[in-house]
Amino acid sequence: MKQRVQSSGSIQALGIFYLSRWQRYLFVGTVCLMAALLTPLSSADGCNGDECGEMKRRQGILTGMPFMAHVSSRSFVDDAGHRIYLAKAPTRVISLAPSITEMLFSLGLDEQIVGVTEFCDYPTAAQSKPKVGYTNPSVEVLVALRPELVFAPKDFLRPDLQSKLEQLKIPLFVLEAQSVEDIPLQIHTLGKMFEKTAAANEVTQVMRQQIAEIRRKVEPLSAKRVLYVLNSQPLISVGPGSFIHQMIGLAGGTNIAAQAGVAYPRLSMETVLAEDPEVLIFPAGDVETVPRSEQKQWLRWESLSAVKQQRFHEVSSNLLNRPGPRIVEGLAQLANAIHPEVFGSGEGTLHP
């Protein structure tokens, strides 16, 4: 009995009152897990003095113990199903997608962004940020920027990059929106992560209002048959599973490639002639574009309604392909191209 009381006193000395057997198991397990998490920080072959100091700084961002009383931890689950715990808002982050970069800037996180991809060109401030590559980001450059957190789309993650980040205890957070509705949700998640909830609410409220206004205007209209020409030779369009397919519907159109069953189907001219699109839409941008010379080749298909009515339109590929806050601007351009009688600016309309 005396020994048991002494044991209890030792536990009280740690600030923990007498624990039941299962509580002791939980306590010991917690200590062991924390020791395992912190072991790499003092490993001689894992880092030098400077690297260890940097890793300890990151460890202040991450806590693997959300139930620890002295840590006000917040958990976040990314679009790959991975959960991370943050004790405080990150101060050094890297974005591996233009859409993510635009979301971060929309929340006023300029100072926290220490690296972006070579295609991150909006807003203007993004152009002066250090570049880490794009589909093949440089691990060396990325690590040298000392990020506390890396944001990336699922499709561009390489096993070697993931392995290196895990080795260095640099957390990775995947953002992969599957629909237009996912974008405001991601912005809200970032707002909570960086303690920018008010800014996130403001950005998403404006987005939802603009989307609702466009839908209100197109709802009473007859849907127009639309062909989005992603590539001319071979002819590639957009189908279910792509953002642009969903946006065509939101903008008051019917995608003639809807039955293809894949996100980016190849179409035959026989299919196009049979579906007879009323509107042809081409992407325009620095990276993804269909040249005017190729657009004019469509004039030879004189039986198409779009050719008869000269309904050729260009829409910014950056606005349509980046699932970020500017997606509503892309939707507005699409709506204007499909229903100029309502939106009426004529912007992006071609007269071949």
Mind listing the pLDDT tens digit for each residue in 30-85?
A: 545 555 544 444 334 445 555 554 554 554 455 444 444 344 458 999 999 999 99
pLDDT band at 86 (very low <50, low <70, confident <90, very high): very high
Q: What CA–CA distance (Å, rounded) separates 148 from 311?
A: 49
Q: How many helices (H) and strands (E) would you count in the chain?
A: 15, 11
Mutual angle of helices 243-250 and 197-218, in 10-degree steps: 60
User: Is the Cβ–Cβ distance between 312 and 282 less than 8 Å?
Assistant: yes
Q: What CA–CA distance (Å, rounded) separates 311 from 152?
A: 37
Stretch 200-206: mean pLDDT, rounded? 98
Mind listing the pLDDT tens digit for each residue in 275-305?
A: 999 999 999 987 788 999 999 999 999 999 9
Q: Does the structure show a pLDDT above 70 at 221?
A: yes
Which option is the CATH number for 46-176: 3.90.1580.10, 3.40.1010.10, 3.40.50.1980, 3.40.50.720?
3.40.50.1980
297 to each of 284, 293, 307, how far by Cα in Å?
16, 7, 11
Q: Does the structure show a pLDDT above 80 at 307?
A: yes
pLDDT at 217: 96
Which is more confidently placed, 349 or 108?
108
pLDDT at 50: 53
Q: Does the structure show a pLDDT above 50 at 10?
A: no
pLDDT at 200: 98
pLDDT band at 138 (very low <50, low <70, confident <90, very high): confident
Q: What CA–CA distance (Å, rounded) separates 248 from 335?
A: 8
Stretch 183-201: mean pLDDT, rounded? 98
Q: What CA–CA distance (Å, rounded) separates 146 from 46?
A: 16
Question: Which of 62-76, 128-142, 178-192, 332-346: highest mean pLDDT?
Answer: 178-192
pLDDT at 155: 80
Mind listing the pLDDT tens digit for each residue in 230-273?
A: 999 899 999 999 999 999 999 999 999 999 989 999 999 999 99
State both tokens at 154. Answer: 């699922």
Q: What CA–CA distance (Å, rounded) separates 79 from 151?
A: 11
Q: Hey, do 46-176 and 221-350 end up sharing a CATH topology, with the first three levels equal?
A: yes
The chain-wide mean pLDDT, for the chain, equals 83
Strand-pair partners of 205: none
Stretch 146-168: mean pLDDT, rounded? 88
Question: Which of 167-176, 200-209, 288-297: highest mean pLDDT?
Answer: 200-209
Stretch 126-133: mean pLDDT, rounded? 95
pLDDT band at 8 (very low <50, low <70, confident <90, very high): very low
Task: List the beta strands (DSSP E) in the chain.
Answer: 74-77, 83-86, 93-95, 113-115, 149-152, 172-174, 224-228, 253-255, 279-284, 312-316, 349-350
pLDDT at 229: 97
Which is more confidently placed, 10 or 348?
348
Which is more confidently placed, 8 or 306?
306
User: Is the Cβ–Cβ distance between 97 and 152 less than 8 Å?
Assistant: yes
Q: Does the structure show a pLDDT above 80 at 312?
A: yes
pTM for the whole thing? 0.78
Q: What is the DSSP letter of 130?
A: P
State both tokens at 332. Answer: 């507005």
pLDDT at 30: 53
Which option is the CATH number for 221-350: 3.40.50.720, 3.40.50.1980, 3.40.50.410, 3.40.1160.10?
3.40.50.1980
SS3 10: helix
252 to each of 221, 335, 342, how far by Cα in Å?
7, 7, 11
- What are the extents of the domains in the chain? 1-42, 46-176, 221-350
